[in-house]
């Protein structure tokens, strides 16, 4: 039997209500905070990520799904890559479509995206080779730290709305490119005498971009990493001031945070503010829910104008895992069918088709089977469908126009006309979507 490729998986119908809930709440957050959606291709030129994310990062160095496209008559096959992240593509689109062009000074472009990303990482719980991210980018001429705090405030609301608690916001500043260059020198000097204690990947990182040593997860490297100088002690004046203001904005919003000077994020484009939201005990080892930061130089790196940017992405896979059990149960229950039609006899079958259509036209979610069965079997099918109600149509019901409506949870049964049934079902909230609308 052919199965899914290692590191990929099917999201089955039982889990989809949880995925949709996370997506819906994300969309609602973006709507409230003035973001618009963008969709970019799943594959891009390899160079976009090599330049944007950085050659020395684990993502580009080890994890990309890169392939040479078929050569055509007029061109060599070019190197393409399944996107491992979506900030570089969004910034590329922003430049390509000159989204910056008709903006007044200080005007921000706020974009969000949702879709699959691909990294050839070692699969484990919460880590997949095809995973799903939702993310947002704020771009414009301003690098006001209030922009960053507003993003965090939005994420705070988002997590609360999903009932995900016990998360920790970790923040750091990775400085501007000049102060980082000076710091990298210091860092390399500190690493050099200890190189023999570090893993092969760290040797590569030391050569290519020493900052990436902090991304190392190898146990035996950690004691050395713990002794290395931290970037927070080498910040330039302006980055330091920026960081202080960012923290003050978080304080003003009542958002709790922890400064982690060793959190430098695994992508090269970050400048100044970087952050992560680390999740609760449901997540295990792969517990980073959200990652983001400022990337002021990225547009220029990609051949665009000097635009400032700040953004984040979260993993949908992990966000779904972090949902509390009772919330997950509620979401699954709210996804249930409204009604399952049980009919007995040929006349009732015809009536059932007609009534199912009328109910569906009235917005009721209806399922039925097409086989005429004994009452007991038919009721078992209704139970199995997890519908809220069973509608029972037999010969008497066809004659009288009054049907049996059985609440499958409580077992209560009433005798009602079709119109009364429609009213009854319509007045009770059908699913969490309707409850959302009613709020």
Of the pair 320, 391, the CB lying nearest ligand AMP is at 320
CA distance 203 to 220: 14
CA distance 411 to 391: 12
Of the pair 247, 318, the CB lying nearest ligand AMP is at 318
Least CB distance to ligand AMP at residue 188 (A): 24
Of the pair 61, 351, the CB lying nearest ligand AMP is at 61
Stretch that binds ligand AMP, among 167-175, 228-236, 315-323, 381-389 (CB under 6 A): 315-323
Binding residue for ligand AMP, selected from 134, 250, 283, 290, defined by CB under 6 A? 290
Residue 406 within binding range of ligand AMP, rule CB under 6 A? no
- Give the binding-site size for ligand AMP (rule: CB under 6 A): 18
Q: Are 166 and 324 in contact (CB under 8 A)?
A: no
Least CB distance to ligand AMP at residue 129 (A): 7
Binding residue for ligand AMP, selected from 141, 142, 168, 288, defined by CB under 6 A? 288
Residue 131 within binding range of ligand AMP, rule CB under 6 A? yes
- By beta carbon distance, the residue nearest ligand AMP is 315
Binding residue for ligand AMP, selected from 51, 83, 92, 119, defined by CB under 6 A? 119
Residue 315 within binding range of ligand AMP, rule CB under 6 A? yes
Least CB distance to ligand AMP at residue 69 (A): 25
Q: Which residues contact 89 (CB under 8 A, 6 or more apart)?
A: 40, 41, 44, 48, 83
Residue 17 within binding range of ligand AMP, rule CB under 6 A? no
Start-to-end CA distance of the chain, whole Å, equals 47
Residue 128 within binding range of ligand AMP, rule CB under 6 A? yes
Stretch that binds ligand AMP, among 123-131, 369-377, 392-400, 424-432 (CB under 6 A): 123-131
Residue 293 within binding range of ligand AMP, rule CB under 6 A? no
Q: For residues 255-274, which are near ligand AMP according to CB under 6 A?
A: 266
Residue 397 within binding range of ligand AMP, rule CB under 6 A? no
Of the pair 128, 206, the CB lying nearest ligand AMP is at 128
Stretch that binds ligand AMP, among 188-196, 289-297, 324-332, 342-350 (CB under 6 A): 289-297
Stretch that binds ligand AMP, among 313-321, 339-347, 357-365, 422-430 (CB under 6 A): 313-321
Stretch that binds ligand AMP, among 89-97, 124-132, 169-177, 204-212 (CB under 6 A): 124-132
Enumerate binding residues for ligand AMP (CB under 6 A).
85, 119, 121, 126-128, 131, 133, 266, 288-291, 313-315, 317-318
């Amino acid at each position: 039997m052919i199965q899914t490729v290692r590191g990929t998986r099917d999201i089955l119908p039982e889990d989809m209500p949880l995925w949709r809930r996370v997506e819906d709440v994300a969309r609602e957050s973006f709507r409230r905070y003035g973001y618009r959606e963008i969709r970019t291709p799943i594959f891009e030129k390899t160079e976009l990520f090599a330049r944007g994310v950085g050659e020395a990062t684990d993502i580009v160095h080890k994890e990309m799904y890169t392939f040479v496209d078929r050569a055509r008559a007029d061109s060599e096959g070019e190197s393409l890559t399944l996107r491992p992240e979506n900030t570089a593509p969004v910034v590329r689109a922003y430049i390509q479509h000159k989204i910056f062009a008709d903006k007044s000074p200080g005007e921000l472009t706020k974009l969000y995206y949702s879709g699959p990303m691909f990294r050839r990482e070692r699969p484990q719980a919460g880590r997949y080779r095809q995973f799903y991210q939702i993310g947002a980018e704020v771009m414009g001429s301003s690098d006001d730290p209030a922009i960053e705090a507003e993003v965090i405030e939005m994420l705070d609301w988002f997590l609360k709305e999903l009932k995900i608690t016990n998360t920790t916001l970790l923040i750091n500043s990775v400085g501007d490119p000049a102060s980082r260059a000076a710091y990298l020198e210091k860092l390399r000097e500190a690493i050099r005498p200890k190189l023999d204690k570090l893993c092969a990947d760290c040797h590569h990182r030391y050569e290519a971009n020493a900052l990436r040593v902090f991304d190392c997860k190898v146990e035996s490297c950690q004691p050395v990493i713990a002794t290395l100088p931290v970037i927070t002690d080498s910040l330039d004046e302006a980055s330091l001031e920026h960081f202080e203001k960012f923290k003050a904005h978080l304080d003003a919003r009542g958002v709790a945070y922890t400064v982690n000077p060793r959190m430098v994020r695994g992508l090269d484009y970050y400048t100044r503010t970087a952050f992560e939201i680390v999740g609760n005990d449901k997540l295990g080892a792969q517990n980073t829910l959200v990652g983001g930061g400022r990337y002021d130089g990225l547009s220029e790196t990609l051949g665009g104008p000097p635009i400032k940017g700040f953004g984040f992405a979260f993993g949908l896979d992990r966000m779904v895992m972090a949902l509390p059990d009772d919330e997950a149960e509620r979401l699954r229950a709210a996804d249930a069918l409204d009604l399952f039609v049980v009919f007995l006899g040929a006349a009732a079958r015809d009536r059932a088709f007609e009534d199912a259509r009328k109910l569906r036209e009235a917005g009721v979610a209806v399922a039925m089977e097409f086989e005429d069965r004994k009452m007991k079997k038919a009721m078992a099918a209704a139970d199995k469908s997890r519908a809220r109600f069973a509608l029972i149509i037999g010969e008497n019901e066809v004659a009288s126009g009054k049907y049996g409506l059985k609440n499958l949870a409580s077992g209560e049964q009433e005798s009602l006309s079709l119109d009364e049934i429609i009213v009854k079902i319509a007045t009770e909230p059908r699913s969490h979507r309707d409850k959302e609308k009613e709020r």
